[in-house]
């Protein structure tokens, strides 16, 4: 990687200033910069040790996938976010598989897992960062679980549409009903029925171009 990327990556790692010179060099020598297209798979399935991901540009989606192909989105990571679960082989006791896809054109720094693991074991600052990040993702996943268990689907769909509109910076959401079902861990038919309900209420306009929010205030009342 060129010098400018070295600087960018170092600024994304909160423990950088606590690293020894040799550790800094090891990380930079074993980091690559990869480019992904919209929807491209980054991690998942058999390769359980892609590496530690740092999002340089774009957005990634982290999700669960069942044997039958059912999905649910756990969280999204934006620019400057770090993902350790894509290097789960180095986290003792993590026994679940996650999948990671690009949402839109995305550039990622990927740090070699074994190098990261070695440094985390020697350097308490890197170890502490791991604990904090795992706890953060644990909390995010618990939030999703509470939503699934305790929240009605109309509320969850309304929240998702508003969040998605904010992420895209547009009132038109260009996702299929199938894709929305995958985010929410629901079925396409159920999502279509609820989108129809919101349409009848004058909240949405559903067309081939996507789902347009025409009454954001009323949609927010469902949240």
Whole-angstrom Cα distance, residue 175 to residue 211?
8
Question: Of 3, 22, 66, 166, which one interacts with a second copy (CB under 8 A)?
Answer: 66
Instruction: Return the closest-CA partner of residue 100 out of 81, 118, 119, 117.
Output: 81
CB of 141 to a second copy, least distance (A): 7
Q: Which two tokens stand for residue 196?
A: 């129809």
Contact flag: residue 4 with a second copy (CB under 8 A): no
Contact flag: residue 156 with a second copy (CB under 8 A): no
Contact flag: residue 143 with a second copy (CB under 8 A): yes
Contact flag: residue 45 with a second copy (CB under 8 A): no
- Give the C-alpha distances (Å, rounded to integers) separating 176 from 93, 127, 189, 195, 208: 36, 41, 12, 11, 9
Contact flag: residue 39 with a second copy (CB under 8 A): no
> What is the bridge-based pairing of β-strands 60-65 and 31-36?
unpaired
Contact flag: residue 128 with a second copy (CB under 8 A): yes
Which residues of this protein are in contact with a second copy, per CB under 8 A?
A: 64, 66-68, 70, 72, 91-96, 124, 127-128, 130-139, 141-146, 148-150, 185
């Amino acid at each position: 990687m060129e010098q400018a990327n070295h600087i960018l990556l170092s600024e994304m790692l909160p423990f950088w200033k606590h690293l020894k010179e040799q550790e800094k060099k090891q990380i930079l020598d074993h980091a690559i910069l990869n480019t992904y297209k919209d929807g491209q798979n980054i991690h998942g399935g058999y390769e359980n040790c892609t590496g530690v991901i740092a999002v340089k540009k774009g957005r990634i989606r982290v999700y669960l996938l069942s044997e039958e192909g059912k999905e649910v989105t756990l969280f999204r990571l934006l620019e400057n976010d770090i993902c350790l679960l894509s290097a789960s082989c180095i986290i003792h006791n993590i026994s679940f598989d996650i999948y990671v896809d690009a949402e839109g054109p995305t550039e990622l720094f990927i740090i070699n897992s074994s190098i990261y693991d070695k440094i985390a074991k020697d350097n308490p600052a890197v170890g502490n960062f791991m604990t904090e990040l795992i706890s953060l993702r644990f909390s995010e996943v618990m939030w999703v679980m509470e939503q699934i268990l305790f929240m009605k689907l109309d509320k969850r769909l309304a929240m998702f549409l508003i969040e998605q509109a904010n992420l895209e910076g547009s009132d038109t959401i260009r996702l299929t009903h199938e894709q929305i079902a995958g985010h929410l861990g629901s079925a396409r038919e159920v999502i279509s029925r609820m989108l129809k309900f919101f349409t009848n209420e004058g909240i949405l306009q559903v067309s081939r171009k996507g789902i347009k929010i025409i009454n954001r205030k009323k949609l927010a009342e469902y949240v």
